[in-house]
Structure 1
Amino acid sequence: MMSSSAQAPASPGEHHPSRPLRRLTARGRKEAHRVSSPLELFFDLCFVVAIAQAGIALVHAVATGHAGEGVLNYAMLFFAVWWAWMNFTWFASAYDNDDVLYRVVTLIQVAGALVLAAGVSEAFDQHNYVAIWLGYAIMRLAMAAQWLRAARSAEGTERTMALRYAGGVLLCQVGWLGLVVLPEPARAWVFLVMAIAELCVPAYAERACPSSWHPHHIAERYGLFTIIVLGETVAAATTAVKSAMAAHGALGELLPIAAGALLIVFSAWWIYFVAPIHGHLRSNRQAFLWGYGHYVIFASAAAIGAGLEVAVEQVAGQAHLSTLAASAAVTIPTALYLVTLWALHSRHFKAGVVQQLLQPVTAALVLCCTFLGDSAVLAAGLVSALSVAAGVKLTARNAAREHRARAAAA
């Protein structure tokens, strides 16, 4: 079901006229040739700065023996970045008119992400969330302004939906003040309650009227952000290897980690893009479950890079933790990425028990690689690569079988 203003695809002229300001009206869900805009790509790249800062802080926490606290802080900070990114992505898919005001408000959200990134270290080290709250507030107030602008141009149930979004965003932002004003023991509970509240806002708002997000555009946006996060993982691992070599010259000990890292990242990319997902995003229920689940996919993909840095530092003698713990820093997020991607994405394209079990079994084997000592990362990479090869072989075999069956039927 679509709002009345989104029944027909808009022509390019309606979205790229010469006027600097125009009404913020819904775009058509079946609009042809819908792709990511340069502004959206710039938005993603700037948000990755905050993800990189969270990864650096996670590396420091794990390397100094505070893995539990580090993972909790990482999960909280990553939620703020991911949720602001996701809200903008779905809004833009439905309402992007690319006028001057839309661009300015979007750039304000980017500024908020950079403020948040600047406060990551203090949040991890001193549990000071003032900069985090301020950066998140900038992003969320800008998002509420976008929804209010959409409400001004909408009518009926679509206007109700937009106002619910704006009101929910503003109310939640007030609740997040608890991270700043309440004592430290209460902050984990504040995060849990407010995260649930944030997740409920879209479900409540779209009960009035589903927004006109574009399935192909949403799938492309998530895919591009996955590529950027995996690229950050490669960059983090490369920097760690370079630093270790400069300080200790331990090239022979680092080569297995470097090779394993490449195989893990290459496999993560291959598995994500092996089949298009936009055809599965047919309703709000399917799309929201898929979109929300990407919190784990994005967070684990970024955590792989942090884990690789920890593994390099452990080999170079810069991290005060065991080989087992350093290996787990890589294998656990890798396994989590694989099994979550299978649950949300890959299983919809698997035929037969063997194909369905391939990815979960791969995740289990990657976890088993944790206990292989210095070869753990390389073994995890080989297991991931062999899983990709097996998947390609099974897909080709099934395609050949279907072709023979059609030929026989003809």
Structure 2
Amino acid sequence: MTRPRLDLRAMPETGAVSPLELFLDLVFVFALTQVTATMAAGLSGAGLLRGLLVVALLWWSWTGYAWLANLVRADQGIARFVMFAAMAAMFVLALAIPEAFGDAPGGLSGPVVVAVCYFVFRALHLLLFYAASRGDVALRGQVLRFTPAMLGGTVLLLAAAATEGTARIWLWVAALIVDYAGTYFGGVRGWRLRSAGHFAERHGLIVIVALGESIVAIGVGVARLPISWPIVVASALGLALAGGLWWAYFGFSSAAGEHALAAAGDGERAALARDAYSFLHLPLIAGIVLLALGLKKTLEYVGDEQAHTLTDPLKGVALAALTGGLALHLLAQAAFRRRVTGRLDAALPVAALLIVPFAVAGTAMPALATLSAVTLITLAAVTVDSRRHTAPPR
């Protein structure tokens, strides 16, 4: 009987995303769903801020594994077992998201569980990276420089668990700043990126996962309500809006990013991947999460005929999430393109600037009219953008 090999196996330059990585993404999308549901349950400005902090924490956890799986095969050898252990940590963290900033009576401390799971998830990533750096002095040095930021962020999260209210939020902010800044100022000279195609595909798939979460939010928002024509119209508009964002990203952005990575030299490639993907994809994903929240509340609003009429406007945090999330995503896509192509495409940022005023003007418009307006603006911008750009072949 042949014993399974437990050594690490290098990712080839032509490597593709493995099914095991997609399995990890399913856990990640559950965590995003938990964030949206938690923000919707306690709809407030503070709740929105807390939700965005959790998204930033989840993103920094996930993106490290995108780098790791680009260096070694995630579905072979010992890496496979590390990936399953990381999934377990991420899943428990996702379960604790509703208690990340306020512990519920009984059971374990939610904030402590989040901090410990974050540490386990990141520690497994670093240990596997350390093992993969054997024989590569530059990479091992980079991993060692990266470690204090992760440890510092975890300590601050544990400190946040011992506080309450505003102090807890500020400690979360400090933890994320330490972790993100430690990566940025630690440089990129030791990081390795073997496959441009794998890295671009990995992030493209997570964009699809996030957009899928927005579709789920549309269904969940009206699952308990009787079907009606306002629900049908609003659902179609929400799906068209998500489709427009998909079109903008996969019509040009995704392929442009892959080509830029493939054409970059070894030193430039890591910096480009860090800036365009690890950093600029965070607001891109956060915008989709906010949009999902806005769509969820909009569908509830237009579908609940007992609480609202069709002339009632969308207000407050729900309106801010809908318009702000959409504008944030469009601006993030424009910034991503600017980083990978060196030029600024006007259509998407102009659309974002046209959508932002609806955060105020929408309070004087019926909710369905606001959703229609921002959807039309987005689709018009994407249509103009697609006519100006032809995506290069993958």
TM-score computed with the length of structure 1 as normaliser:
0.80
**Distance of 2:74 and 2:24 partners within structure 1:** 16
Match of 1:142 in 2: 124
Match of 2:380 in 1: 386
Match of 2:329 in 1: 337
Match of 1:4 in 2: none
Match of 1:324 in 2: 315
The answer to whether the Cα contact below 8 Å between 1:116 and 1:135 also exists between their aligned partners in 2 is: yes
The answer to whether the Cα contact below 8 Å between 1:57 and 1:124 also exists between their aligned partners in 2 is: no
Once the two structures are superposed, the pairs formed by residues 164-313 of structure 1 within 5 Å of their partners are: 164-203=145-184, 206-207=187-188, 209-245=190-226, 249=227, 251-275=228-252, 276=255, 277-281=257-261, 282=264, 283=268, 284-291=270-277, 292-313=279-300
Match of 2:301 in 1: 314
Q: Structure 1 residues 378, 84: closer, same or farther in 2, change over 3 A? A: same
**Distance of 1:264 and 1:350 partners within structure 2:** 27
Match of 1:106 in 2: 83
The answer to whether the Cα contact below 8 Å between 1:70 and 1:124 also exists between their aligned partners in 2 is: no
Q: Structure 1 residues 146, 365: closer, same or farther in 2, change over 3 A? A: same
Alignment coverage as a number of residue pairs: 365
What letter matches 1:161 in structure 2? Q
* Partner SS, residue 99 of structure 1: coil
**Distance of 2:11 and 2:384 partners within structure 1:** 41
**Distance of 2:249 and 2:207 partners within structure 1:** 8
Match of 2:22 in 1: 41
**Distance of 1:347 and 1:142 partners within structure 2:** 31
The answer to whether the Cα contact below 8 Å between 1:91 and 1:213 also exists between their aligned partners in 2 is: no
Q: Structure 1 residues 244, 329: closer, same or farther in 2, change over 3 A? A: farther
**Distance of 2:341 and 2:351 partners within structure 1:** 17
Once the two structures are superposed, the pairs formed by residues 7-26 of structure 1 within 5 Å of their partners are: 19-22=4-7, 24=8
* Partner SS, residue 5 of structure 2: coil
* Partner SS, residue 75 of structure 1: helix
The answer to whether the Cα contact below 8 Å between 1:147 and 1:166 also exists between their aligned partners in 2 is: no
**Distance of 2:386 and 2:165 partners within structure 1:** 50
The answer to whether the Cα contact below 8 Å between 1:297 and 1:337 also exists between their aligned partners in 2 is: yes
Once the two structures are TM-superposed, the CA of residue 260 in structure 1 deviates from its matched residue by: 1.7
Q: Structure 1 residues 207, 334: closer, same or farther in 2, change over 3 A? A: closer
The answer to whether the Cα contact below 8 Å between 1:147 and 1:165 also exists between their aligned partners in 2 is: no
Q: Structure 1 residues 156, 145: closer, same or farther in 2, change over 3 A? A: closer
**Distance of 2:231 and 2:357 partners within structure 1:** 21
Greater gyration radius: 1
What do residues 108-138 of structure 1 show as CA deviations (whole Å, max 9, x unaligned)? 1111111111111123554851221132122
Match of 1:406 in 2: none
Q: Any unmatched runs of 5+ in structure 1?
A: 1-16, 400-410
Once the two structures are superposed, the pairs formed by residues 28-67 of structure 1 within 5 Å of their partners are: 31-32=13-14, 34-62=15-43, 66=44
Once the two structures are TM-superposed, the CA of residue 44 in structure 1 deviates from its matched residue by: 0.6
Match of 2:113 in 1: 131
**Distance of 1:228 and 1:313 partners within structure 2:** 23
Q: Structure 1 residues 72, 160: closer, same or farther in 2, change over 3 A? A: same
Q: Structure 1 residues 289, 257: closer, same or farther in 2, change over 3 A? A: same
Q: Any unmatched runs of 5+ in structure 2?
A: 105-109
What letter matches 1:278 in structure 2? E
The answer to whether the aligner puts 1:361 opposite 2:353 as a matched pair is no
What letter matches 1:83 in structure 2? W
Once the two structures are TM-superposed, the CA of residue 304 in structure 1 deviates from its matched residue by: 1.1
The answer to whether the Cα contact below 8 Å between 2:152 and 2:179 also exists between their aligned partners in 1 is: no
Q: Structure 1 residues 259, 366: closer, same or farther in 2, change over 3 A? A: farther
What letter matches 2:6 in structure 1? L
**Distance of 2:307 and 2:321 partners within structure 1:** 15
The answer to whether the Cα contact below 8 Å between 1:113 and 1:136 also exists between their aligned partners in 2 is: yes
Q: Structure 1 residues 285, 206: closer, same or farther in 2, change over 3 A? A: same
Once the two structures are superposed, the pairs formed by residues 390-405 of structure 1 within 5 Å of their partners are: 390-395=384-389
Once the two structures are TM-superposed, the CA of residue 213 in structure 1 deviates from its matched residue by: 4.2
Structure having the larger proportion of residues in helix:
1
**Distance of 2:18 and 2:3 partners within structure 1:** 17
Judge which range, 117-126 or 264-273, deviates more. 117-126
The answer to whether the Cα contact below 8 Å between 1:147 and 1:163 also exists between their aligned partners in 2 is: no
What letter matches 2:259 in structure 1? G
The answer to whether the Cα contact below 8 Å between 1:90 and 1:213 also exists between their aligned partners in 2 is: no
The answer to whether the Cα contact below 8 Å between 1:260 and 1:380 also exists between their aligned partners in 2 is: no
What letter matches 2:314 in structure 1? T
What letter matches 1:21 in structure 2? L
* Partner SS, residue 211 of structure 1: coil
Q: Structure 1 residues 183, 394: closer, same or farther in 2, change over 3 A? A: closer
* Partner SS, residue 218 of structure 2: helix
Q: Structure 1 residues 212, 154: closer, same or farther in 2, change over 3 A? A: farther
The answer to whether the Cα contact below 8 Å between 1:262 and 1:381 also exists between their aligned partners in 2 is: no
Once the two structures are TM-superposed, the CA of residue 361 in structure 1 deviates from its matched residue by: 1.4
Once the two structures are TM-superposed, the CA of residue 279 in structure 1 deviates from its matched residue by: 2.1
Judge which range, 290-299 or 126-135, deviates more. 126-135
* Partner SS, residue 345 of structure 1: helix
The answer to whether the Cα contact below 8 Å between 1:272 and 1:346 also exists between their aligned partners in 2 is: no
